[in-house]
Chain A
Amino acid sequence: MKYPEPPPKQPSWLSLAQATFNLQVNRWDTQHCGGGLRWQIFPFNKGYDYKNTISNGGFFQLAARLARYTGNDTYAEWADKTWDWMHTTPLFTDNYAIYDGIKIENCSNPYPIQWTYNVGTFLMGAANMYNYVSGAAMSS
């Protein structure tokens, strides 16, 4: 889109996105439910024990968009990892029903509400991956 960049001494839009990505990578939690991101950053916030689809879907989308923009495979790997983890949970069924989240106290019991934006974020991320993969295939 070539949206105007911030002034030279400020971080670029891309580096802001990369910083967000890097911070989120640090928060990937393998100790509960085999992976995924929590809804909250700080333990004292309500919902810290909730791993929800929008947090992981947002990360998936961010990783996919960074992969497409930069061509860097590290981002694509994290998108794949997030996709795969979602499928190990009851949040993303084989019929592509996408549910809202799981509490770490019971990883197999999803909060079974379906929201437009949860499907939307995975759709957008997948489109970016589709574009990234087919673009890579076309150039090789």
Chain B
Amino acid sequence: MQKLLDATDIFFPTEFGGVIMVEVACEPQGTCNNDQPSFKAYLARWMAATAQIAPFTEPIIMKKLRESARGAAKQCSGGPQGRTCGRKWTDSVWDGRTGVGEEMSALSVIQANLIQKVPPPLTANTGGVSKSDPSAGTGGDDPVMLEPLLTRRITSGDRAGAGILTAVTLGGLLATIYWISF
């Protein structure tokens, strides 16, 4: 677990103190697509939940979430109302980016700082009330059953049939055009 936590270090570059989250694969280069600005949201929330159920990680995680949230708050300073969130939490000036991913990430990391005020996720033994159904999703007409129809290989019989249908359709179309023209 410690190793996994250390594995997040690349996303907290030392040039910014090692405490602010950066999507290093696309953020510095400005090449993030529509989905990628949301990825920091997931890491932030999963780090927060990790701190709850693996408490030895809490000090390190909370420090990073705190500083990242500070950076995010500063970056959420754009647009006509001065509240639009951009992408780069290492930049206190709005970077001009807008998008749902940017908003999700900022919300998630700021909200993550409240994690210590709530109990960890419940289990069936600690008060969880959701009803179990271990065979849910097995059998019946679910998407998995439809797959054979969709994954069956196209045969030459299929192609011949398609050819016949095309010819019939074209023939009908041409006949209709001939009939309307005269």
Are A14 and B131 touching (Cβ within 8 A)?
yes
Verify if B92 is at the interface (C-beta below 8 Å from A).
no
From B6, B128, B143, give the contact of A2 (CB < 8 A).
Answer: B128
Asked if residues A22 and B49 are in contact (CB atoms below 8 Å), the reply is no
List which B135-172 residues lie within 8 A (CB) of chain A: 135-138, 142-144, 147, 150-151
B39's partner among A21, A41, A117 (CB-CB below 8 A) is A117
The residues of A that contact B127 with a CB separation of less than 8 Å are: 2
Please report the C-alpha to C-alpha distance between residue A44 and residue B25 in the assembled complex, in whole angstroms: 28
Q: How far is the CB of B155 from chain A (nearest CB, A)?
A: 16
B39 and A131 within 8 A (CB): no
Tell me which residues across on chain B come within 8 A of A21, comparing CB atoms: 137
Interface residues on B, range: 35 or more
Q: Which of B87-134 touch A at CB < 8 Å?
A: 118, 121-125, 127-134
What's the minimum C-beta distance from A128 to chain B, rounded to whole angstroms?
A: 7
Which chain A residues numbered 45 to 87 have a C-beta less than 8 Å away from chain B?
A: 65, 68-72
Collect the chain A residues with CB atoms within 8 Å of residue B138's CB: 22
Q: Which of B8, B125, B131 contacts A12 (CB 8 A)?
A: B131
Which of B23, B54, B133, B142 is close to A131, meaning CB atoms less than 8 Å apart?
A: B54
Contact A42 B49 (CB under 8 A): no
Contacts of A124 in B (CB 8 A): 46, 49-50
On whether the beta carbons of B7 and A119 are closer than 8 Å, the reply is: yes
Question: Which residues in window 81-133 of A have CB below 8 A to B?
Answer: 96-98, 113-117, 119-124, 126-128, 130-131
CA distance A124 to B40 in the complex (A): 14
Q: Is A140 an interface residue (CB 8 A)?
A: no
Any chain A CB within 8 A of the CB of B47? yes
**Pair A127/B6 contact, Cβ less than 8 Å:** no
* B10/A42 in contact, CB under 8 A: no
Q: Does A34 belong to the interface (CB within 8 Å)?
A: no
**Given A12-B131, A71-B124, A127-B50, CB of A122 within 8 Å of CB of B4:** yes
B1 located at the interface, meaning its Cβ lies under 8 Å from any Cβ of chain A in the complex: yes
Nearest-CB residue, chain B, relative to A20: B137
The residues of B that contact A119 with a CB separation of less than 8 Å are 4, 7-8, 11, 43
- Listed by A's residue number, 19 A-B pairs whose Cβ atoms lie within 8 Å are A2-B122, A5-B129, A12-B131, A14-B133, A23-B137, A26-B144, A43-B151, A68-B53, A71-B123, A96-B7, A97-B7, A115-B25, A119-B7, A120-B43, A121-B42, A124-B49, A126-B1, A127-B50, A130-B54
